[in-house]
C-alpha cells in the first residue's frame, strides 16, 4: 500500500504522518532501511543541537509511593522493598556534588510521596536555585493540583517530567489501578504546559498490551502535545509486580521509535534512558545514534540507588555508580558526540520562560 522508505522521507520533510501511515510504518518497520532512518534522525538532531548531548543529574530522593502502577517496582503494594527518604540537607548535598561535577540540570524525582509538602518542595527548589544560579531544575514527582504545580514553578522549577504512559485510554487503564485516571493524567500535562514548564512526557516501549495501532496514537499524541522532552524506554518486568512474567521491550523497537520521534518533533530533547542501557550494554549509544541527545546519570547517594528499582537489573546502582559521568562521557565520545554540561533548554520556541 505504502512504501515504508518513502514514508520515512515524508516524515523527515513534513514532520507528520496520518494515522494510517503511522500504522503502516510501525507494522512494517522490519522493511525500513534503518541506516537511512537513523541518519535522517541524526541530521535533524544536529540541525538543532549540533553534536552536543546534555547530561541531567538525577536525584531519586524518595521511593515511597501512594500509587500502585502495575509495572512499577516502587508501587505501594511492594512490601519487599526498603523505603527511604532523603532529607533536604541530603538533597542539597547531592546537588552540590552534581554542580561540582558540572551538571547544570538537576532532576528531582520521587514516588508520589505525601510526606513532602508543597512548602518543603518549594523550599528545596528555591534553595538549589539560590545556591546555583545557572542550574535548571526539573521536577518529576507525579500528579499534583494546578495550584501545587504553580507554587513549584514560582519557587523556580523550570521543567517537569510526567510520562503520560499511554495515549490510549483503555490501555492506560490496563496499566494502572482504577484510582488513577487517564483524564487526570492528561489534565496534569496540560496544566504544566499552561503554567509555563518545559514539559516532558513519554511511555514505555512494548508495555504489556501495547499494540502497533496504539503506537500510532502515541506518535499523534506527542505531535499534538508538542512536549519539550519525550522520555521513552523499554518496559522491563520487575519481579515484585503483577507484570513480573510479561515480556521486556526490545532494543530494536525502542531505537526505531526514538528516530521516529526525533523526525516528528525535531527540536525535542530525547533521553537515551537508563532502561535502554539496561536491556543492552550499548543501548544508550545506539539511542544516540538514532537521534537521542540527553543522558540522565544518577546523583543519588550510592547507598539508596539499589532501592530505586523501578525494574529488575537496573544499571549504575553498584559500587561503580559514582563514576557514572566519566563512564558516560567515554561512551558518548565513542559514538562521535560530546557530553556537555550546559542547561540545554529546549530549542522549541514555544518553551521560553514567561
> Which residues contact ligand FES (rule: CB under 6 A)?
297, 316, 320-321, 323-324, 327-328
Phi (first) and psi of residue 337, to 5 degrees: -115, 170
CA dihedral sign of residues 258, 259, 260, 265: positive
Choosing among ligand FES, ligand 5AD, none, which partner's interface includes residue 316 (Cβ < 5 to 8 Å by kind)?
Answer: ligand FES
Q: Closer to ligand FES at the Cβ: 307 or 327?
A: 327
Q: Which residues pair with 265 in a beta bridge?
A: none
Residue 31 contacts residue 7 (beta carbons within 8 Å): no
Given the C-alpha cell 507484570, which residue does it identify?
Answer: 243
Choosing among ligand FES, ligand 5AD, none, which partner's interface includes residue 163 (Cβ < 5 to 8 Å by kind)?
Answer: ligand 5AD
Q: Closer to ligand 5AD at the Cβ: 12 or 243?
A: 243
Q: Can you tell me which of 236, 258, 279, 315 binds ligand 5AD, judged by CB under 6 A?
A: 236
Site string for ligand 5AD, 303-332 (x = CB under 6 A): -------xx---------------------
Site string for ligand 5AD, 108-147 (x = CB under 6 A): ----------------------------------------
Per rule CB under 6 A, is residue 71 in the interface with ligand 5AD? yes
Q: Closer to ligand 5AD at the Cβ: 11 or 167?
A: 167
Given the C-alpha cell 548531548, which residue does it identify?
Answer: 53
Q: Closer to ligand FES at the Cβ: 171 or 331?
A: 331
Residues 6+ apart with CB under 8 A from 110: 60, 61, 62, 63, 64, 65, 116, 140, 141, 142
Return the axis-axis angle of helices 19-27 and 4-14, rounded to nearest 10°: 130
Query: H-type helices in 80-211, by residue range?
Result: 88-101, 118-131, 146-155, 169-175, 182-195
State which of positions 159-218 bind ligand 5AD (CB under 6 A): 163, 165, 204
Choosing among ligand FES, ligand 5AD, none, which partner's interface includes residue 327 (Cβ < 5 to 8 Å by kind)?
Answer: ligand FES
Choosing among ligand FES, ligand 5AD, none, which partner's interface includes residue 324 (Cβ < 5 to 8 Å by kind)?
Answer: ligand FES
Shortest spacing between CB 146 and ligand FES, in angstroms = 36
Q: Closer to ligand 5AD at the Cβ: 40 or 296?
A: 296
CA distance 88 to 92: 6
Sheet containing 52-55: order of strands: 294-295, 52-55, 338-340
Give the 3-state secondary structure of residue 17. Answer: coil
Phi (first) and psi of residue 49, to 5 degrees: -125, 5
Per rule CB under 6 A, is residue 229 in the interface with ligand 5AD? no
Per rule CB under 6 A, is residue 238 in the interface with ligand 5AD? yes
Amino acid at each position: 500500500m505504502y512504501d515504508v522508505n518513502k514514508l520515512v522521507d515524508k516524515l523527515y520533510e513534513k514532520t507528520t504522518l496520518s494515522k494510517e501511515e503511522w500504522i503502516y510504518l510501525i507494522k512494517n518497520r522490519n522493511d525500513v532501511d534503518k541506516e537511512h532512518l537513523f541518519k535522517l534522525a541524526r541530521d535533524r538532531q544536529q540541525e538543532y543541537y549540533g553534536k552536543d548531548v546534555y547530561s541531567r543529574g538525577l536525584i531519586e530522593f524518595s521511593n515511597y509511593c501512594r500509587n500502585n502502577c502495575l509495572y512499577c517496582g516502587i508501587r505501594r503494594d511492594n512490601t519487599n522493598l526498603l523505603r527511604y527518604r532523603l532529607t533536604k540537607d541530603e538533597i542539597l548535598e547531592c546537588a552540590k556534588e552534581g554542580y561540582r561535577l558540572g551538571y547544570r540540570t538537576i532532576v528531582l524525582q520521587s514516588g508520589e510521596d505525601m510526606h513532602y509538602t508543597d512548602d518543603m518542595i518549594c523550599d528545596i527548589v528555591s534553595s538549589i536555585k539560590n545556591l546555583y544560579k545557572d542550574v535548571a531544575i526539573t521536577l518529576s514527582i507525579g500528579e499534583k493540583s494546578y495550584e501545587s504545580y504553580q507554587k513549584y514553578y514560582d519557587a523556580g522549577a523550570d521543567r517537569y517530567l510526567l510520562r503520560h504512559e499511554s495515549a490510549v485510554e483503555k490501555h492506560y487503564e490496563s496499566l494502572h489501578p482504577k484510582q488513577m485516571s487517564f483524564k487526570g493524567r492528561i489534565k496534569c500535562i496540560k496544566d504544566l504546559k499552561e503554567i509555563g514548564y518545559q514539559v516532558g512526557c513519554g511511555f514505555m516501549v512494548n508495555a504489556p498490551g501495547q499494540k502497533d495501532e496504539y503506537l500510532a496514537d502515541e506518535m499523534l499524541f506527542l505531535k499534538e502535545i508538542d512536549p519539550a522532552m519525550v522520555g521513552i524506554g523499554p518496559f522491563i518486568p520487575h519481579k515484585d509486580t503483577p507484570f513480573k512474567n510479561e515480556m521486556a521491550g526490545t532494543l530494536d523497537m525502542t531505537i526505531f521509535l526514538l528516530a521516529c520521534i526525533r523526525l516528528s518533533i525535531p527540536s525535542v530533547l530525547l533521553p537515551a534512558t537508563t532502561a535502554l542501557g539496561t536491556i543492552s550494554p550499548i543501548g544508550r549509544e545506539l539511542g544516540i545514534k538514532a537521534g537521542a541527545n540527553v543522558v540522565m546519570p544518577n546523583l543519588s547517594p550510592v547507598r539508596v540507588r539499589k532501592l530505586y528499582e523501578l525494574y529488575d537489573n537496573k544499571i549504575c546502582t553498584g559500587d561503580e555508580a559514582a563514576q557514572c559521568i566519566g563512564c558516560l562521557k567515554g561512551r558518548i565520545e565513542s559514538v562521535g558526540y560530546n557530553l556537555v554540561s550546559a542547561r540545554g533548554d529546549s530549542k522549541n520556541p514555544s518553551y521560553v520562560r514567561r
